[in-house]
Amino acid sequence: MRLSLTARLTITFVVITVACFSVVGLLLFKVVSRRVYIHDQTNIMLDARHLRRLAEELQSADDLAAHKDRLIALVLGDNANGLRVVDRGGRMLIDHIPLRYELPAQPVVPENQRIVPESIQSWKDHDGNEIRGVATAATLKNGDSVTIAVARSLADRTALLDKYRDDVWLSLLAGLLVAVLLSYLLVRRALRPLRAMAESASAITAQRLSTRMPLEDAPTELLALAASLNDMLARLEQGFARVWQFTVDLAHDLRTPIGNLRGANEVALNRRRSLDEYEALLGSNIEECDRVSRTIESVLFLARAESPQFAMQRLELDTELELLRIADYFEGLSAEAGVTIEVDASACVHADRDLFRRAVSNLLSNALRYTPAGDAIHLRAMHTEQGVDVSVENPGKGIEPEHLDKLFDRFYRVDRSRSDSATSTGLGLSIVKSIMELHGGSVSVWSHANVTCFTLHFPPPQGRSP
């Protein structure tokens, strides 16, 4: 059975309260019973001592019988008390037992022995009520001996204690009811912030990610939870905003080449064209299509790189070999641009070969685009304290500082007018950043007046120091 938190806490509190009440009730009952018992015991003992002393002051049994009222007065006032005095011959001198119970004849405390609590005996009357009493011998002045028996019926005490026990049970029941009610109300009240959080959480949808958990009333235990949920919501909100922005940028970037395609074809169809013009049109159509497929391929790569299932194959790569191969691959383009590529590498890097080539190629193709003819691009790789750094440095007019931290955003281009160019998707650097994140590394850039340098920081392989 699934119990609510309120029910669980209420049950806990009620169990604790009932346990405490029971222990207190039981203890009180025991203490009161014991007090009553000691009180009666002491009274019986004191009465017996007193009566013996009085008897010892009297002359004879007749004298004692004559002072009967005085002796009875000692135990008078409580119906439960009883007194019997018998002489040695068995003659009843005093017999005052209002409740008519039996008194003990034996054992008798001898004249010369002090009456102590242990001398008191306990027995039952014919109704089963407990009687406590003591019989003691006393020597009269004339040397005769009499037996004085004093007793008290505990019937009234038992009835009183029974009543008291019933009262304790009733109080316990009342306490139980109050505990259930109060616990339920207080627990419900204490859990209000939790319900408020649940309500806020249920109001959250993809469109309403700006909702936050209320922190004002939250108790300290829930504060950390609410704060981390709010942080999570903030991250989700940012993530959704990024995805939304990405979708908008993607749509915009695909619209341009498709618009170009359509526009050029429409213009061409206005009138009859020469074969050369049709060839030029098809050539430009193919260029636009290339741009669209490049954008789609880049977007797919970024989406795959973000998926948790993305599989990398890390190898120990000789950076000199790899950078020389990449430079070789770009030879045609660099010759065309009149730029030389110089490689200076002496490190091994633990990376996925394809991703490494892709990252460096993206940086190199950018560098080629911005390096003035006759200059050289430097590809370098070296060990550092944090791992291995691979850098692509090119001369050129540099990048303004305000653009530097946005360069790695998707679709960001410094020169917006170039965005129409069939060669630019604005995704190259964000792919580089994704690749470095997959490797647990990072990418950084610095640029001043006439030099720009992008550096890939590869961390050392796990468990190995650089």
Distance of alpha carbon 71 from alpha carbon 56, whole angstroms: 12
When the beta carbons of 168 and 367 are compared against ligand ATP, the nearer one is 367
When the beta carbons of 84 and 410 are compared against Mg ion, the nearer one is 410
When the beta carbons of 50 and 403 are compared against Mg ion, the nearer one is 403
Residue 441 sits in the site that holds Mg ion (CB under 5 A): no
CB of 426 to Mg ion, least distance (A): 8
CB of 217 to ligand ATP, least distance (A): 48
DSSP letter for 338, please. Answer: T
Judged by beta carbon distances under 5 to 8 A according to partner kind, the member of Mg ion, ligand ATP, none in contact with residue 290 is none
Residue 458 in contact with residue 441, Cβ under 8 Å? Answer: yes
Distance of alpha carbon 88 from alpha carbon 94, whole angstroms: 13
CB of 365 to Mg ion, least distance (A): 6
Helix (H, G, I), strand (E, B) or coil at 349: strand
Residue 371 sits in the site that holds Mg ion (CB under 5 A): no
Residue 434 sits in the site that holds Mg ion (CB under 5 A): no
When the beta carbons of 182 and 399 are compared against ligand ATP, the nearer one is 399
Residue 430 sits in the site that holds Mg ion (CB under 5 A): no
Other C-beta atoms lying within 10 Å of the C-beta of residue 366: 20
CB of 389 to ligand ATP, least distance (A): 17
Task: Give the residue nearest to ligand ATP (CB).
Answer: 428
When the beta carbons of 363 and 381 are compared against Mg ion, the nearer one is 363
Judged by beta carbon distances under 5 to 8 A according to partner kind, the member of Mg ion, ligand ATP, none in contact with residue 213 is none
When the beta carbons of 387 and 428 are compared against Mg ion, the nearer one is 428
Residue 428 sits in the site that holds Mg ion (CB under 5 A): yes
Residue 378's H or E segment, with its range, is strand 376-384
Please report, as ranges, the residues that interact with ligand ATP according to CB under 6 A: 362, 366-367, 370, 394, 396, 399, 407, 412-415, 423-429, 452
Residue 425 sits in the site that holds Mg ion (CB under 5 A): no
Residue 153 in contact with residue 129, Cβ under 8 Å? Answer: yes
CB of 225 to ligand ATP, least distance (A): 40
**C-alpha pair distances (Å), 45 with each of 51, 104, 112, 151:** 10, 15, 15, 9
**Residue 138: both structure tokens together:** 């006393």
Helix (H, G, I), strand (E, B) or coil at 427: coil
Residue 366 sits in the site that holds Mg ion (CB under 5 A): yes
Residues 130/134/135/137 CA torsion (nearest 10 deg): 180
Radius of gyration of the chain measured on its C-alpha atoms? 53
When the beta carbons of 324 and 399 are compared against ligand ATP, the nearer one is 399
Residue 260 in contact with residue 283, Cβ under 8 Å? Answer: no
Helix (H, G, I), strand (E, B) or coil at 221: helix
Distance of alpha carbon 85 from alpha carbon 71, whole angstroms: 10
CB of 437 to ligand ATP, least distance (A): 15
Site stretch for Mg ion (CB under 5 A), options 167-175, 181-189, 365-373, 431-439 = 365-373
Placement of tokens 């990024």 in the chain: 242
Judged by beta carbon distances under 5 to 8 A according to partner kind, the member of ligand ATP, Mg ion, none in contact with residue 399 is ligand ATP
Length of the chain: 466
Judged by beta carbon distances under 5 to 8 A according to partner kind, the member of Mg ion, ligand ATP, none in contact with residue 293 is none
**Judging by beta carbons within 10 Å of its beta carbon (0-12, 13-18, 19+), is residue 465 exposed, middle or buried?**
exposed
Residue 334 sits in the site that holds Mg ion (CB under 5 A): no
Binding residues vs Mg ion (CB under 5 A)? 366, 428
